[in-house]
Amino acid sequence: MNKSDLVEQVAKKANLTKKDAETAVEAFFAITEKALAKGEPVKISGFGAFGIRHRKGRVGVNPTTHKKIQIPAATVVVFKPSKNLKQLLKSPKKAK
């Protein structure tokens, strides 16, 4: 599912116009980005939590040349699904 598919599904589910749904989706993205940039986790009950992690720099191997390369430290976004979402993925049901 891409962004336009998401907007379409939100519009249908919430009985909104596509423009209103797009505004809501964009607002969610902006708020989530802002919170993560501040280092704050975004927890959505029954769905999961977005957070950030700091990865240390490390030495890796280029698979084509087999030479060692230095991989720099990075800050990455992580997602931890809720118990409900994990359970749903273990025993998928037809979406309504």
pLDDT for the residue 96: 53
Q: Do 3 and 35 have their domain in common?
A: yes
**Count of domains for the chain:** 2
Q: Do 2 and 29 have their domain in common?
A: yes
pLDDT for the residue 94: 62
Q: In 3-state terms, what secondary structure has residue 90?
A: helix
The two tokens of residue 49 are 């939590």
pLDDT for the residue 19: 97
Range of the domain at 85: 51-90
Q: At what angle do helices 18-37 and 3-14 cross, to 10 degrees?
A: 120
Q: What is the 3-state secondary structure (H, E, C) of 30-47?
A: HHHHHHHHCCCCEEECCC
pLDDT for the residue 92: 60
Q: Do 10 and 35 have their domain in common?
A: yes
Q: Do 28 and 55 have their domain in common?
A: no
Q: Do 1 and 36 have their domain in common?
A: yes
pLDDT averaged per 10 residues in sequence order, the chain, 96 residues: 96 96 97 96 96 96 95 96 91 61
- Please indicate, yes or no, if residue 46 is contained in any of the structural domains: no
Using CA atoms, how far residue 30 sits from 25, 27, 34, 92, in Å, is: 9, 5, 6, 30
pTM attached to this predicted model: 0.76
